[in-house]
Amino acid sequence: MKKFRYLLLTCLLIMAMALSACSGDTDDDETSGRRRRKDDDTEEVSTTPTEDVTPTEEPATTYEITPTAEPTETPTPTEEITPTEEPTPTEDPALITGKYADEDMDYDLPELIALGVASRSDGEWSQDSDNYHQVIAVSFNPVLISEEDKVKYPALAETLAYQRDEDAAMIEDDFRYYRDMYTEYGECEDALYFTYDSYNILRADSYVVSLENVNSSYAGGAHPYTAKKGVSIDPVTGEYLKISDVCNDCDSLAEMIAYKLEEKYGLWSDDGDSEFFDKAIDYIADQIANDQICFAIGNEGVTFYFSPYELDGTSYADGNLSATFSFYDTIVVDDGEPKLVGLFKKKYRTVPEKYMRTLSLGDELEVRNLVSDDDGEFDTLNVYALGYDEWGDFRGVGIQINGETVFENEQIYGYESDMYLYRNDINETTFIIIHLVQDSEDDDMFVLAIGDDGIVTETESEYYGISPVSIINRYGEEEWDNDYSYKTLFDPDGFLALTRNDVLGTNFETGKYCINDEGRIERISKYLDFSSGFELTLKQDFKAGMIDPEHMFNEDSDVPGEFDIEVELTAGEKIYPKKTDGDRLVFFTTDNGEWGMFQMDEQFGYLNGVAVWDIFDGIIFAD
């Protein structure tokens, strides 16, 4: 019996020592609970917590994510989880605390913000024996905000104004520098000195405003330089968002981005010792840790930007690099039990049901579920020019989806175009809308529908006679040779557009329009506003229906009591046309602020049987 007890105690002691040794090995392993690259380039995933978590501490992430795989209970580098709804680990999950509490909040769909991108340019020309040619060109695209949203989001308006001032100052400095260069060294060989600074609106709503900044320049040397950057702004505070504000797992993000870049571009495939790959991870990790990583939050996901030469092992030929992660991407956190949460915070994953974003010819865009099933996977979309003429006008448009040409049309050509991607998640439709200017008086709108099978169908080209403007504003005109040109068609439910009509002479009016479910344009304003303030002087006495002061205009609502009061205006008085129905009705104001109205005859150019140029001084008709 004593011998048996001795043996039992000896066995228990040996087991305790073994367990203690195992525990010590786990504590000393600095890579425990984190994914690490092994010598043979395989990946190891651990779900062992690195420390105990109490209810008052922030939950620990107990897994590693590869950029091509989502973690499961037994993770593998080739498996992927693509939940179609907000995942829950149990039927009645506990609340997620700490920095993941965002996952338990309900967010209303954000409201769209009306932004516009204008264009300002300047340059210098030189004359040789034959003709003039440009030697310096500079331009920038200030982002403008509507007066209505300027009141709603004053901090955002201030940030955009500051950004606009900075860009204008940069362009002016470049212009002076190029002029000095040209004075000292003469013309560039086969090129001109230039700086083009532009913005694409990626997303603009009450949760986030995201812009893509593209800056191209040439100041002599072997080649021009182009850099793309993403900018995301909190519209309420006006502050630029940092990646720590947006991402739920910054610790794993560097490796995820590097693997995504390698998968997309094959940058380091021939680098046997992975030196550049490891340096890229270290560089990206440092950028993330210091909240300096460049990114933009779109309606599909979050895109990270890297300029030429920025990453070790990349060259000028590699160009600008980007890696986009879908809002469907998830991570695992541990708050007593494993839970799936979004890689990015829920607030920014909450997007409008209908939205538009600008397209640029030649850019490859990643679009969620363009032709694939609703699994959160991206398809690539590229809208490109079929060629350019000697004046730089593009000749035709083609479309590629996932690298395959699906559409070409040589009739879609012109010297100016604005292109937009319109997505309607309510009825699952996607359109490419091309607003085209082929000459100074001819505006066309092409609407291309993209089907689930990738087939692109085209509506008939229609003359809408409108030019999308959305933002009517002026900024620093005295500093530039050219006035603003407007480029925006951002809110599909209500954008402003400029149109020309001959209701009372030839004038331009603005009104609200929308994109309907078929991708076609509809006017939704009952009345249009005369866009340019002008005055008419009465040549003779004139009777008009005056509007009761209690029934003034309320946006686009009806105006009751229009004919209740009749007033005779006398020769020499001035009236100021303000609104029209686009057909025969004209509303005006007088010097004392009263509103009046009259209705044109069915016969063109006549009012009460009299030609309008005999009634008013100041009527202008276009040739």
Domain boundaries, the chain: 29-104, 109-352, 530-617
Helix (H, G, I), strand (E, B) or coil at 498: strand
CATH number of 530-617: 2.30.30
Report CA-CA distances (Å) from 340 to 32, 34, 196, 234, 557: 20, 17, 44, 26, 49
Place of tokens 């300029």: 307
Tokens representing residue 295 in the block: 């990114």
Measured between its terminal Cα atoms, the distance across the chain in Å is 121
Same fold, 109-352 and 530-617: no
Q: Which residues pair with 604 in a beta bridge?
A: none
Q: Can you tell me the distance from the alpha carbon of 219 to that of 142, in angstroms, rounded to the nearest whole number?
A: 23
What whole-number distance in Å separates Cα of residue 137 and Cα of residue 460? Answer: 37
**E strand or H helix that includes residue 245:** helix 243-246
Confidence (pLDDT) at 80: 42
Give the integer Cα–Cα distance in Å for 412 and 386.
10
Residues in the chain: 623
Instruction: Note the pLDDT of residue 441.
Output: 56
Cα–Cα distance, 294 to 231 (Å, whole number): 7
Q: How far is CA 406 from CA 384, 419, 435, 448, 481, in A?
A: 12, 17, 20, 11, 41
Taking 50 as the pLDDT cut, the residues of the chain under it are 1-95, 272, 470, 472-487, 555-556, 560-562
Alpha carbon distance 81, 103 (integer Å): 18
The first and second tokens of residue 219, run together, are 């100041």
In CATH terms, 109-352 corresponds, of 3.40.47.10, 3.40.50.720, 3.30.565.40, 3.40.50.1000, to 3.30.565.40
